[in-house]
Structure 1
Amino acid sequence: MRQGIHPKYEKVIFLDASVGFSFLSASTRSSSETMEWEDGQTYPVIRVDSSSASHPFYTGRQKHTETGGRVDKFNQRLNAHKERNNASQ
């Protein structure tokens, strides 16, 4: 790699403060806020809005709504058209 063109890649703590969940990973982002991790080292902290611990998709709290998609709407129109043609014959 050429020197001086790549961002610094270091370990950081990602913190989801809404549920108190944190994990250690590597990133090119950094922060002036630091926190001590379980291994005794101090790492920069990146606060995130949601993580796998708080996102409804991963926690199973996501609401599923049964709304017909484009294919369902097309089939409804097609069936209505067929019924009209059969009734007129």
Structure 2
Amino acid sequence: MKNNIHPEYHTLTVTCSTCGNTFETGSTQKDIKVDTCSNCHPFYTGKQKYKNVAGRIDKFNKKYGIQEDEEQE
């Protein structure tokens, strides 16, 4: 490895601005702040909300006068 060409590597504390969770990691930066972390992100916490797809379909059908009871031949 060549001398004096690589950035300095630091051990730092990452802070989540949403929940205040902190954890240590290594980086060439001296300070890292994140908006969401695995402690508060809905995907990781299991509190993810899904859009009501059936409601959107009903709204579309109502808008264009499509009845769901119609049988296609």
Asked whether the two chains share a fold, i.e. TM above 0.5, the reply is yes
TM-score (norm 2): 0.62
Residue equivalent to 2:3:
3
TM-score (norm 1): 0.52
Larger radius of gyration: 1
Residue equivalent to 2:56:
none
Pick one of 23, 37, 45 that aligns with 1:59: 45
1:3, 1:50 → 2: CA distance? Answer: 37
Runs (4+) of structure 1 exceeding 4 A deviation are: none
For 1:1-89, what aligned pairs fall within 5 Å after superposition? 1-31=1-31, 46-65=32-51
Secondary structure of the residue that 1:11 maps to in structure 2? Answer: strand
Structure 2 runs not aligned, ≥5 long: 54-71
Q: In the TM superposition, what is the alpha-carbon distance from 1:57 to its structure 2 partner?
A: 0.6
**When you count helix as a share of all residues, which structure comes out higher?**
1
Structure 1 runs not aligned, ≥5 long: 32-45, 68-83
Identity among equivalent positions (%) equals 38
